[in-house]
Chain A
Amino acid sequence: MDRRACLLPVLAIAAFASAGRAQDSAGGQTSVQVPDEGRAVYEQICQACHMADAKGGDGAGARIPALAGNPRLADKDYPVTLLLKGRGGMPWFTEILTHRQMAAVVNYVRGHFNSFPGTVTEAYVDRVASAPPPKPDCMTCGN
């Protein structure tokens, strides 16, 4: 279930999240808004790690994987599940992105940086998200 309408500021979700995440900056809440369009979501969120060209990059014996030309994205559920649950260094995005935004960015990544057929809808993300979103567990975070 999408818990909010599009384009509500990020702090709106903070209210839903547990006390540990009441602040999205150390000592306050920002009003930063993430647009709904797939390309914009990519540039404002995913690019922080996967790079502007979606080619990722090398770390210390590990890498941020490329999303461009990535055969694993043929399976629509794969990126959707990662956005909902995270894995390894890849964060979950249930506190920052709506299901609509997740669908949009998955379509952008699968279509623009790859050429896989098929689109993901908001309802599709709702279905994959059968379990409740992760609840952050840290009472001492936010330094």
Chain B
Amino acid sequence: MFDDFEAPSRRDLLLMIGRTGGAAAMYQAMTALGHAAATRFTGPPQLSGARPGASVLVLGAGLAGMLAAYELSKAGYKVQVLEFQDRPGGRNYSVRGGDRIVEVGGATQTVQYAPGNYLNPGPWRIPHHHRTLLHYATQFGVELEPFIQLNHNAFVHRHDAFGGKPQRYKELAVDFKGHTSELLAKALNAGQLDSAVSKEDKERLLVAMREWGVLDKSDRYTSDLHVAAQRGYDKAPGGGVDGAPTSAGINGLSDVLDSHVWTQMGFYFGSVMQTTMFQPKGGMDMIGKGFYREVGKLVRLNTRVTKITQDDHGVAAQWTDTKTGQAGESRADYMVCTIPATILNQIDIQVSPAKKAAIAALPYSAQVKIGLEMKSRFWEENYAIYGGHSFTDQAIGLISYPNYNFFKGGPAVLLGAFASGAGGYQLAGMTPEARIAAALEQGSVFHPAEYKAEYLNGASVAWSRMPWIMGCCATWSEESRATHYQNLVSLDGRIVLAGEHASYYGCWMEGALLSSTDAIMRLHQRALAA
């Protein structure tokens, strides 16, 4: 059996290390073997051998809660999940025609989108290195398609740049690169950087600036056909007699700086924003639905938890059924609580003062998303924009074009706002009707002829007014991290907290899953040691 003596493949080796040394050893080995260190994921938690009859109560059926339910029940625990809403998924959420959006304060919208169209009010893009999320998505048969992140042909708008006229990203970005290259080349040629770079590096840098910045023979950034080949032509290359292209002009440095295009260029460099990105076909909530197919029978929906207690023998959650008004109590040996800190801060929960202080130290951001259904895909037909984002300095922040059904005609839903900061509060404070009016007004800057004319209907989600979270995502400060993070995530008697807020990967689904994985591994150890 010489086959047995084959050298182990890298994967075999990793599996072996993983089995013997656990996740931490495997992680170290992976890094050493040159795998990206972009994620902590080393495979789903390998829990097994729960004590017979041991039980866990999970609060919240978002991704953190459902991962806990899935893995713990696989390990042999008796699991029950309590969820306030009438649907699973939590922030993993999509709205479609017929759905109702009810806000704190009572404002209610009924979504009018045509069949097949949707808005992802929360998560909408998945980085290629979010391995935990991608693992479960594939395992549960969720079909993923590309999320068009960087679109060179989309627009950048600022009210005080180019007379308020939006410019194509490619033109601004190429001009920015060209002008800065010219300046660096100038400084190098004048010997101004001789003390900072070696002679050899100076030569190489000059070559780099010429090639990358597309400078001319005298190291200037000027309008020519090479530049046009990046930022676009006046007359594009054609066929036959009149095929020769002509170049377009370039923008001056000062105008380009007015546009702040470096904020977008920098944005796309962020590791969580780099292409390739994905989205589930048919809506982000396909992920939550995938989990729910596995754990649905364990979940009690429409169940508002109002009080959480524990003693030496177990945990208990008091709840009210939001449909029937029935009050009840669920008990178990242990608890994984994934209720967002905004809510948890106001629930009577029996944990240490340090953990309570940690929960109270987590304010939430407040974003607004607005989905506008349009009669036609005019951004494709008239502007050759297929997916991606057009940015503005108005409150709406950006508009983003759908990444599915390209070329298929209308109606189609585009994202008419992804607002945060002061702009997010402004829009959240409006009635749903006023939000749509503001989004149409502001978004018109990009597509003035079509935007209002093609509008059919719209829906908005103001996260600060979603009753089950009253915010978007947890906001840590350097101080609160130092003072409270460990207290938040620590096992407190029989209770452990999990969710996006209990991670260093805030406001990403990956963070919710990594937090839950870590929490249940510690809980399992505690249960075995008991």
- Which A residues lie at the B interface, using CB under 8 A? 10-11, 18, 22-34, 43-49, 51-52, 56-64, 86-92, 95-96, 134-138, 140-143
Contact of B134 with A by CB under 8 A: no
How far, in Å, is B497 (CB) from chain A's closest CB?
A: 15
Q: Which residues of B are found within 8 Å of A137, using beta-carbon distances? A: 476-478, 480-481
The residues of A that contact B428 with a CB separation of less than 8 Å are 48-49
Give me 7 A-to-B residue pairs in the complex whose CB atoms sit less than 8 angstroms apart, sorted by A's number. A27-B263, A28-B264, A30-B392, A32-B393, A56-B104, A62-B345, A137-B480
Partner of A58, one of B363, B467, B473: B467
A91 close to B104 (CB less than 8 A)? no
**B158: chain A residues within 8 A (beta carbon):** 31
Interface 1/0 per residue, B361-402 and A, CB below 8 Å? 111111000000000000000000000010111110110000
Q: Does B468 contact A (CB under 8 A)?
A: yes
Judged by a CB distance under 8 angstroms, whether B288 is at the interface is no
Besides A26-B398, A57-B105, A60-B468, 5 other A-B contacts (C-beta < 8 A): A22-B263, A32-B423, A51-B104, A89-B342, A96-B422
Q: What CA separation (Å) do A127 and B159 show in the bound complex?
A: 37
Give bound CA distance, A91 to B342, whole Å. 10
B260 at the interface (CB under 8 A from A): yes
A-side contacts of B475, CB under 8 Å? 86, 91, 136, 138
User: Given the complex, which residues of B lie within 8 Å of A25, measured CB to CB?
Assistant: 391, 397-398, 418-421, 423
Distance in Å: Cβ of A6 to nearest Cβ of chain B: 14
- Asked if A62 contacts B422 (CB within 8 A), the reply is no
Cα–Cα distance between A44 and B430 once the two chains are bound (Å): 9
Q: CB distance A32 to B421 under 8 Å? A: yes
Question: In chain B, what residue has the closest Cβ to A25?
Answer: B397
Q: Is B236 interfacial (CB-CB < 8 Å)? A: no
Contact of B393 among A30, A44, A58 (CB under 8 A): A30
Identify which of residues 94-112 in chain B touch chain A, using a CB-to-CB cut-off of 8 Å.
103-106
In-complex Cβ contact of A57 among B104, B125, B429 (8 A): B104
Closest to A86 in B: B363
How many whole Å from A24's CB to the nearest CB in chain B? 3
For window 455-508 of chain B, which residues contact chain A by CB distance below 8 Å? 462, 464-465, 467-471, 473, 475-481, 505-508
Q: Are A44 and B425 in touch, CB under 8 angstroms?
A: yes
Query: Contacts A44-B425, A48-B366, A137-B481 hold; do A143 and B464 have CB atoms under 8 A apart?
Result: no
CA distance A136 to B507 in the complex (A): 13
B56 to chain A, nearest CB (A): 20
Q: B125, B272, B392, B470: which contacts A59 (Cβ < 8 A)?
A: B470
Residue of A nearest to B263 (CB): A28
B470 touches A62 (CB 8 A): yes
A30, A33, A57 interface centre (most CB from chain B within 10 Å): A30
A106 CB, min distance to chain B CBs, angstroms: 17
> Within the complex, which residue of A30, A88, A90, A138 is in contact with B421, where a contact is CB–CB below 8 Å?
A30
Report the minimal beta-carbon distance from B518 to chain A, rounded to whole angstroms: 17
CB neighbours of A91 from chain B (8 A): 363-366, 471, 475
Closest Cβ–Cβ distance, residue A30 to chain B (whole Å): 5
- Binary CB contact string for chain B from 338 to 361 against chain A (1 if under 8 A, 0 otherwise): 010111011100000000000111
Q: Does B422 contact A141, Cβ atoms closer than 8 Å?
A: no
Query: Cβ of B346 and Cβ of A62 under 8 Å apart?
Result: yes
Residues of B in contact with A, size category: 35 or more
Q: Are A28 and B260 in contact (CB under 8 A)?
A: yes
**Secondary structure call for the A interface:** loop
Q: Given the complex of chains A and B, what is the CA–CA distance between A31 and B462 in angstroms?
A: 20
Chain A proximity mask over B243-283: 1 for CB below 8 Å, otherwise 0: 00000000000000000100110010011110000000000
Q: Which 8 A-B pairs have the closest CB atoms?
A: A25-B397, A89-B342, A24-B421, A134-B477, A48-B428, A62-B346, A47-B429, A88-B345
Q: How far is the CA of A141 from the CA of B426 in the complex (A)?
A: 21
Query: What residues on A are CB-neighbors of B341 within 8 Å?
Result: 88-89
Hey, which chain B residues are within 8 Å of A138, CB to CB?
475-476, 506-507
Q: Across the interface, which residues of B come within 8 angstroms of A46, CB to CB?
A: 429
Interface centre among A25, A49, A57, A95 (most CB of B within 10 A): A25
Known: A48-B464, A57-B106. A30 touches B422 (CB 8 A): yes
Docked CA distance A30–B473 (Å):
20
| Selected contact of A140 from candidates B272, B305, B419, CB within 8 Å | B272
**Among candidates B273, B398, B468, residue contacting A28 with C-beta atoms closer than 8 Å:** B398
Distance in Å: Cβ of B327 to nearest Cβ of chain A: 13
A96 to B341, CA, bound (A): 22
Checking A45, A49, A136 against B470 with a beta-carbon cut-off of 8 angstroms, the contacting residue is: A49
**A143 engages B421 (CB within 8 Å):** no
The answer to whether B465 touches A49, judged by C-beta atoms less than 8 angstroms apart, is: yes
- Known A59-B104, A60-B467; contact A140-B479, beta-carbon cutoff 8 A: no
Q: Does B160 contact A (CB under 8 A)?
A: yes
Q: How many angstroms between the C-alpha atoms of A70 and B530 in the bound complex? A: 47
Flag if B422 contacts A32 (CB, 8 Å). Answer: yes
Return chain B residues, CB-CB under 8 Å to A61. 84, 304-306, 343, 346-347
Other-chain contact of A89, B273, B419, B422, B470 (Cβ < 8 Å): B470
Chain A residue with minimal CB distance to B343? A62
Complex-state Cα separation, A30 to B469, whole angstroms: 25
| Alpha-carbon distance A10/B85, docked complex (angstroms) | 36
Q: Assess whether B471 is in contact with A26, with CB atoms less than 8 Å apart.
A: no
Query: Do the beta carbons of B398 and A27 come within 8 Å of each other?
Result: yes
Selected from B125, B263, B363, B424, the residue in CB contact (under 8 A) with A23 is B263
B123: Cβ under 8 A from any A Cβ = yes
CB atoms of A89 and B471 under 8 A apart: yes
The 8 Å CB contact of B507, one of A22, A32, A141, is A141
Residues of A within 8 A of B345 (CB): 62, 87-89
CA distance in complex: A31, B480 (Å): 29
What residues of B have a CB within 8 angstroms of the CB of A62 in the complex?
Answer: 342-343, 345-347, 470
Cβ–Cβ contact B422 & A45, under 8 A: yes
Given contacts A25-B397, A63-B346, A138-B476, contact A48 B104 (CB under 8 A): no
Give min CB distance, A22 to chain B, whole Å. 8
Which partner residue on chain A sits nearest B348 by CB separation? A61
A61 to B308, CA, bound (A): 12
A135 to B481, CA, bound (A): 10
Q: Which residues of A have CB within 8 Å of B391?
A: 25, 27-28
